[in-house]
C-alpha cells in the first residue's frame, strides 16, 4: 500500500500525557491531536492543525468500540503519515487501525511510570501493536521486549540540562 | 482523576494567612475548610488550561500533586514548586506512580523544586524553604527525544 502523506496523528489523554505529547512532538510538521477532554489545551498550541474529539473510555468497552469506528473515519478522512501516542488506553483502537492500514505507529510511555510500564504500554507490547515503543527511563529499556530509550522529556541528572544531549542534536 | 486529595487541602487550610494566600483548584476534594477562608483562598472547582496557566504565572509558589503535567507546566514558567504526591494507601490514586516520580525528582535535588514530607504537616516549612530559592532549575530537556521522534517518523514515511 502507498504510504499516506497527511499530518501526524498525536493521541494523548488530558493532563500529563497531553503535556508530554505536546512537547515531544513539537518538531514534527503538521500535527492533528486526538483527545477526549480539555481540547482547548491542544487548540492553543502552535503548529496544531486540528483537534479531533474522541469518546472517553475509562473501563468501558463501548467507548473503545465507538472510538474504533470514529478513528477509522478519521484515518480515512485525514490519511495520517504516522501515529504517535503517549497514552492512555483510549489510543488502543487507533493502534489496531494503524497496524491494519500500514501507518507507522509509535508509543512513548509516560514519564510518570518510573518502575515499570503503564498498562496501555504493556497491552501494546503484548499485542505487538506499535512499530516502535519508547520508554523515557534508561533502566526500563528492554531489547527483548522491543522497548527503546532515546531520551526523556526531563533532565535525568542533577544539575539541569544534559549538555551532551543538547550538543548532539544541535 | 476523580479521586479526592483531602490531605493536601487540609494542610493548605492549616496555613497561616500571613504565610500563604492565593488560588486553590480543589477538583473533587473536600474544600469546606478552604471555603471557610474566602479572604485567604480563591477556591475554584476546576479551571481551564488557560486559566490555570494565567494563575500559575501570577503565583510565587505552586503547590501541586505529583502530576507530570502540572510539574512540567510550573517548571516551564520557572515557578518555585512544592510537590505533594497522591498515595495509593489513602485511595488518592490507583497506584503509587506519583510517589515514584516524586522520589526521582527528590533524588536529583533541583533548585527551587521541593518534595513535601509525606504527611504534609510541614507544608509551612516547605514554603519558607522554597521561597528562599533564588533560581529554579530547568527540568525540561526534551531535545534528544524530540529529535529521535522526528527522525523516526521521517524515516518511516
Whether A170 has a pLDDT exceeding 70, the answer reads no
pLDDT in tens, B94-109: 999 999 999 999 999 8
Residue A161's pLDDT band (boundaries 50, 70, 90)?
very low
Query: Which residue is associated with the grid cell 533502566?
Result: A139
Lowest mean pLDDT among A79-83, A165-169, B30-34, B109-113: A165-169
Helix, strand or coil, per DSSP, at residue B118: coil
For residue B73, list chain A residues with Cβ-Cβ distance below 8 A. 19
For residue A169, list chain B residues with Cβ-Cβ distance below 8 A. 143-144, 146-147
* A76 dihedral zone (left: phi>0; alpha: psi -120 to 50; beta): alpha
Read off the pTM: 0.90
Q: How far is A8 from chain B (nearest CA, A)?
A: 9
Q: Distance between CA atoms of B110 and B123, rounded to whole angstroms?
A: 18
**A6 inside 8 A of chain B by CB:** no
Q: Distance between CA atoms of B67 and B96, rounded to whole angstroms?
A: 12
Of chain A, the percentage scoring pLDDT greater than 90 comes to 76
Task: Give pLDDT, residue A143.
Answer: 94
For residue A157, list chain B residues with Cβ-Cβ distance below 8 A. 108
**A112 inside 8 A of chain B by CB:** yes
Residue A2's pLDDT band (boundaries 50, 70, 90)?
low
Task: Give pLDDT, residue A163.
Answer: 38
**A111 inside 8 A of chain B by CB:** yes
Q: Are B82 and B61 in contact (CB under 8 A)?
A: yes
pLDDT in tens, A127-143: 999 999 999 999 999 99
Residue B60's φ and ψ, nearest 5 degrees, are -85, -40
Q: Chain B: residue nearest A18 by CA?
A: B69
pLDDT in tens, A26-81: 999 899 999 998 887 788 788 899 999 999 887 778 999 999 999 999 999 999 99
Average pLDDT along chain A: 89
pLDDT in tens, B21-75: 999 999 999 999 999 999 999 999 999 888 999 999 999 999 999 999 999 999 9
- DSSP character at residue A88: -
- Neighbouring C-beta atoms of residue B134, cutoff 10 Å: 8
Q: Enter the ipTM.
A: 0.89
Amino acid at each position: 500500500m502507498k504510504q499516506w502523506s497527511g499530518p501526524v496523528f498525536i493521541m494523548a489523554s488530558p493532563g500529563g500525557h497531553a503535556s508530554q505529547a505536546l512537547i515531544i512532538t513539537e518538531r514534527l510538521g503538521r500535527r492533528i491531536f486526538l483527545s477526549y477532554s480539555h481540547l482547548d489545551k491542544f487548540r492553543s498550541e502552535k503548529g496544531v492543525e486540528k483537534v479531533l474529539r474522541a469518546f472517553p473510555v475509562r473501563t468501558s468497552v463501548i467507548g473503545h468500540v465507538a472510538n474504533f469506528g470514529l478513528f477509522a473515519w478519521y484515518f480515512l478522512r485525514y490519511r495520517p503519515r504516522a501515529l504517535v501516542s503517549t497514552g492512555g488506553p483510549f489510543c488502543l483502537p487507533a493502534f489496531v487501525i494503524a497496524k491494519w492500514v500500514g501507518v507507522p505507529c509509535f508509543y512513548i510511555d509516560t514519564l510518570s511510570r518510573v518502575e515499570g510500564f503503564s498498562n496501555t504500554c504493556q497491552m501494546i507490547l503484548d499485542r505487538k501493536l506499535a512499530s516502535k515503543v519508547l520508554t523515557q527511563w534508561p533502566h526500563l529499556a528492554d531489547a527483548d521486549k522491543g522497548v527503546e530509550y532515546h531520551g526523556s522529556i526531563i533532565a535525568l541528572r542533577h544539575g539541569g540540562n544534559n549538555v551532551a544531549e543538547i550538543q548532539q542534536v544541535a | 482523576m476523580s479521586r479526592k486529595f483531602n490531605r493536601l487541602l487540609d494542610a493548605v487550610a492549616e496555613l497561616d494567612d500571613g504565610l500563604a494566600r492565593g488560588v486553590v483548584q480543589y477538583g473533587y476534594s473536600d474544600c469546606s475548610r478552604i471555603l471557610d477562608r474566602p479572604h485567604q483562598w480563591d477556591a475554584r472547582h476546576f479551571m481551564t488550561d488557560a486559566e490555570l496557566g494565567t494563575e500559575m504565572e501570577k503565583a510565587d509558589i505552586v503547590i501541586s500533586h505529583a502530576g507530570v503535567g502540572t510539574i512540567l507546566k510550573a517548571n516551564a514558567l520557572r515557578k518555585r514548586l512544592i510537590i505533594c504526591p497522591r498515595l495509593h494507601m489513602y485511595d488518592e490514586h490507583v497506584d503509587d506512580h506519583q510517589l515514584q516520580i516524586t522520589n526521582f525528582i527528590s533524588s536529583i535535588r533541583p533548585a527551587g523544586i521541593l518534595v513535601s514530607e509525606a504527611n504534609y504537616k510541614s507544608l509551612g516549612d516547605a514554603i519558607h524553604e522554597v521561597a528562599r530559592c533564588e533560581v529554579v532549575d530547568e527540568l525540561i530537556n526534551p531535545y534528544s527525544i524530540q529529535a529521535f521522534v522526528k527522525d523516526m517518523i521521517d524515516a518511516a514515511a
